[in-house]
Amino acid sequence: MRDFTPNEMMTIAAARALSNDDVCFVGIGAPSAACNVARLTHAPDITLIYESGTIGTAPAVLPLSIGDGELCETALSTVSVPEMFRYWLMGGRISIGFLGAAQLDRFGNINTTVIGDYSKPKVRLPGGGGAPEIATSCGEIFITLKQAQRSMVERIDFFTSFGHGEGGDHRQRLGITTKGPTLLITDLAIWRPDAETKEFTVTSLHRGVTREMVQETCGWNARFADDLGETPEPTELELGTLRDLQARTAAAHAGQKHG
């Protein structure tokens, strides 16, 4: 059996969810790693778009931020941020939005604003950025998150990005026509929303993970699919591609040239 970390499994499982024909709005961090592993393996023609306006970018190393020069240098085109949001995103031209979260509830609602009371927060987070618009305007949303009681909560402290709201048909009742969160990939499992309630349900456990481990790191009563599966292990190609990408990134950020 190959040795791999939970974070590597999460990234590779997320990469597998993307297809060659996707137009993907990419978040920094784990979403960026997953999208670029997909591009370098099974989805070479995927179109990656970052919030700064870079379209069809193909970075050799993972960007530090949406303003990283690597994105613009390797993009097919770079447009203004207003054009990116008004024409490309809100025009319905992006199939997948890939987001992270500081806090997430069972219906895929996201908090990236504050932990605690808004007026006197325990932690002030970076904020929503473009995530609120991404959450409602992309065809569907994938979320990556490391499981912990503090991040997977019964009730988020601040409503930054709309998932499925109160569940059920809440999105439709508000006039939102996109699918919303359709996939949650964590370091322990793969979750998908129930068809009726829209509550995230575990559909696959990663190697060595038990139901008890999932519940211990989840702040609500986790639901498990009747046909619960096991996530296929990373292949040599997937794992090698991810590690090579991370090694090039580390070298580049340390001031070394990459090929």
| Residues designated as active site | 51
**3-state SS, one letter per residue, for the chain:** CCCCCHHHHHHHHHHHCCCCCCEEEECCCHHHHHHHHHHHCCCCCCEEEECCCEECCCCCCCCCCCCCHHHHHHCCEECCHHHHHHHHHCCCCCCEEEECCCEECCCCCEECCEEECCCCEEEECCCCCCHHHHHHHCCEEEEEECCCCCCECCCCCCCCECCCCCCCCHHHHCCCCCCCEEEEEECCEEEEECCCCCCEEEEEECCCCCHHHHHHCCCCCCEEEEEEEECCCCCHHHHHHHHHHHHHHHHHHCCCCCC
